[in-house]
Every structure is written in C-alpha cells, then in structure tokens.
Chain A
Amino acid sequence: MIDSVLSFANLSKTISAVSNRIIFAQIAGTVLAGEKIVFVGPSGQGKSTLLRILGLLDEADSGEMVLLGRPLHQWDPQAWRMNVCYVSQTPVMLEGTVEDNLRTVSRLHHAEYDPSYAAHLLSSVGLEEMGLSKEASTLSGGEKQRVALVRSLLLRPKLLLLDEITSSLDDVSKYAVERLITDINRQEGTGYVWISHDRDQAARIGEKVWSLSNGTLSEGGVSCL
C-alpha cells in the first residue's frame, strides 16, 4: 500500500474582504507518496488559494490537514514548509545574484550547498549558459521562473505545489521543466500537485486530476481531462 504524504478534510475558506465569498467549503483530498496530480479548473476558483493553504502560506477557516501521518498542530510550520514547498507562478528573485538566490536554502538551513546539483538542475531547465554572478533582478520573466523553480528544488521537499510554473516559458523550456519534474518524481519519489490551464500539458504531467469548481474539489483520472 502506498502511504499518504498529505491529506486534508473539511477544508473551507472564505474571503472576508469580498463580502464573505466562499471559495471552497468542506473539501477533502489526499496526495499519496510520489503521486503526480494535475490541478485544473476555471480561473478564480481558488486553486492557488488551496495550494497556498497546503503550503502554509495561507490559513484555512476550518478543516484538518495531515502530513506524513501527523496532524498540522503537531508540526512546526517551518518543518512543514520544508516538506511541502509551494512554487508561485509569479517568481520573486531575492536580492543579489543568481548564485545568491540558489544558495538561499543552504544559507537558511546552514546546510552545505551542492554546486554540481544546482548546475545539473539549471542545465536541465535550459539555463546551462546562465551566469551565476548575474544580478537576479535583471533576468527575464522566463529565466526568473526557472531560477525560482531550481531554488525550490534545492530544498528537496517531499511534495511540490506548483502554481502554473511554466506560464512564462516557451515550448522548449516548458518541456524541459516538465521532464525535470517528472525525472525527480521518478528518481526521488517527489510527488507534486501542479496547477495547469494547458490541457496538453495536463495530459503529459498528470496521473490523477484534481478539479476545483463552484467550491467543490473532485478527483479523477487523466481520462476526465
């Protein structure tokens, strides 16, 4: 039996700023170890909000979440985020060079930086020519998106929450990113929940489909796409 990495139940979220609009109510879901989930649904239905809640960047109004068999209240939020890493669709470069950005994880956690692994990840997403001493703020949108992804992958989380991470990429880079994520999934068992509005991409990257619309989450196979 494959263990569950992350599960949630009775999860509800309302935006109080906009006349108490209910985004979703009483939803439940499970991510098994190494599972490849593509997350679809119309824009503005709360997909990003759900991923941000699962990544502890936002808080649900009610509901339970369990990671690696332990409920949320037994976790230190920082340790939770190291296991469940949210990657935003709008990449934010931190102050400094590309290398400073890549070293962030090792700097934060006083861990050794692995330059060869970082170089491997960069070249896998088509950034082998990227000068590490380049100011990160000067990168193009597509470069930022890939550097931000590599920066998160260096954390080696158990589960990736990917929020339209190829939205600024051309086809070549998009396929490269898909290949890298699926390779890491195969080699290291890193599961993912990947928001995508691209049906072809969804079919390539997903084994299971989450669909969020009208406040409810439904699960299905890729054949429902």
Chain B
Amino acid sequence: MSLIALASTLVFIAVSVGISIWQKLGLERDILYGTIRSAIQLLAVGFVLQYIFGTQHVLLIVLILAVMIAVATWHAGKRGKGLKRIYLYVGLTITMTEVVTMGLLLALSIIPFTARYVIPISGMTIGNAMVVSSLFLNQMKREAVTSRGEVETLLSLGASPRQAIHRMLNRSARFSMIPTIDGMKTVGLVQLPGMMTGMIVAGASPLEAVRYQILIMFAFASSAALTSILLALMSYRLWFGKLGQFTRSDT
C-alpha cells in the first residue's frame, strides 16, 4: 500500500468526525485522539516487528511478549479496581494462558519458533485473554451485588468460601467465554476475521488464510477457558474478608 493510499484512509476518520459534529455526539476529540494514538502505536509496532524479524533474537521476542502481557494486565486489571492484588492475579493468569497456548503450539510443531509466528499469534492470544479477564471481572462485580444473598445464605449454612461462591464463579466464567464461543459459531458467516482478511489482502490464498484462522479460533477457545478458570481459582478469595465473610468489592 502506498503512503498516499494510506493517507487517503483518513477520509474514514473525516466521515466519523463529520457525523459526530452533525449529530452533536461530542466524540470528535476522542476520535482524533484514537486516530493519532492507533496510527502511532501501529507504525511503531511495525518498525519494532520489522527489526525483530530481522534479528530473530529470543530475548527480544520475550521482551515484546512481556510488554504485551503488561499492557493487557493493566487494562484488564482496571476492571477489578478495589480488589487487592488483582493486577498480580490477572498478570499471572494471562502469562500462564500465553505459556500454555504457545507451549502447545510449539510443542506440537503447529507453528515454528520464529518471531514471525510467535509474536502475532501471542498478541492475539494475550488480547483474547485480556478481553476474557475483563468480562469475567465485570460480571463478578455485577454478581457481587445481585448474588450477595445466595453467597451469604450458603455461608450461613456452613459453606466454605469456595463452595459459597462456586455458582457465581461459574456464571461469570460462562459469561466471559460467550463472545469467544459465539465467534466460533459465526466465524466466516457473519464476518471474515481480521487476521484472515489481512492475509488474503496481502496475497495469501484463502485456503491458507483459513487454516491459520482455524488455528487461532481453536487456540482462542482453549485460552478463553484457561483464562476464566485460572482467574476464577486465583481471585475468588479476594471477595471474602479474613473471617470468610463476603465483602463488597469497594471495601
């Protein structure tokens, strides 16, 4: 794509800013901020990846993955604001999900250990784990209000905190996995996923693109399940005080 063609894509931003001004949505600043930020971020990432793909240095790959995990942890952890040590648990969860997913992909020789494969696929895995963690924590916060009676009833009947919160964890885990599972059901019928679209536009054959998309979808299914279950197991204690009483998340 030529630089002139790339610059021409700003017409889409002009459309959204125009609509925002016309309908008084007040989103112009956010749209412009988002435009500048995404352009800078993506261009910077492009240069970094170009450099890493050239050197193939393992430490650099690890460093890039660490940065991705840190940013994902920061964003997902914000959803659990008020819960002590939530950033630690979200970070551990995302790291473990990435290690298991990437470990399986490499151990089964599904992808080779090169930056060209490891970094983009890790990015998608970590991104998905971030979304699942955010959804899980959001739902837990909602449940902490609506299911308070259920948890306290079980506690008063002598349940352990784990027993008392079991159904609430289940519901939140299920909720956090719905987008991934729905995505699997409708992929290709409703929309062509970004990665596949990118590969096709860049010249790969649709059949080759589909193979990688299948890999990603299946890896997402396992990473979503891993993320929600790991986060549930690691974080459920945070909803209880030292006497095992159910506490509000903001206390």
Chain A residues with a Cβ under 8 A of chain B: 16, 55-59, 72, 77-79, 81-82, 85-88, 90, 92, 94-95, 104-105, 108-109, 148, 151-152, 155
Q: Do B156 and A108 touch (CB < 8 A)?
A: no
Q: How far is the CB of A207 from chain B (nearest CB, A)?
A: 24
Cβ of B114 under 8 Å from chain A:
no
Q: Do B244 and A155 touch (CB < 8 A)?
A: no
Knowing A78-B159, A78-B160, say if A104 contacts B154 (CB, 8 Å): yes
- Can you list 25 A-B pairs with a CB-CB distance of less than 8 A? A55-B156, A57-B156, A59-B241, A59-B243, A72-B243, A77-B243, A78-B158, A78-B159, A78-B244, A79-B158, A81-B156, A81-B157, A85-B157, A88-B152, A88-B153, A88-B156, A92-B152, A94-B150, A94-B153, A94-B154, A104-B157, A108-B154, A108-B159, A155-B157, A155-B158
Q: Do B243 and A108 touch (CB < 8 A)?
A: no
Q: Do A105 and B157 touch (CB < 8 A)?
A: yes
Knowing A88-B152, A88-B153, A92-B153, say if A56 contacts B158 (CB, 8 Å): no
11 further interface pairs, Cβ-Cβ under 8 Å (given A81-B155, A86-B156, A87-B156):
A59-B242, A77-B243, A77-B244, A77-B245, A81-B156, A90-B149, A92-B150, A94-B154, A108-B154, A109-B158, A155-B157
B246 neighbours in A (Cβ, 8 Å): 57
Q: Of residues 237 to 251 in B, which have CB atoms within 8 Å of A's CB atoms? A: 241-246, 251
Nearest B-chain residue to A76, judged by Cβ: B244
Q: Do A57 and B155 touch (CB < 8 A)?
A: yes
Q: How far is the CB of A67 from chain B (nearest CB, A)?
A: 12
Cβ of B167 under 8 Å from chain A:
yes
CA distance A151 to B172 in the complex (A): 27
Q: How far is the CB of A107 from chain B (nearest CB, A)?
A: 9
Q: Do B158 and A108 touch (CB < 8 A)?
A: yes
Q: Do A59 and B149 touch (CB < 8 A)?
A: no
* Residue picked from A55, A57, A90, most chain B C-beta under 10 Å: A57
CA distance A92 to B159 in the complex (A): 15
Q: Do B150 and A108 touch (CB < 8 A)?
A: no
Cβ of B163 under 8 Å from chain A:
yes
| B244 in complex: contacting residue of A56, A92, A108, A109, CB < 8 Å | A56
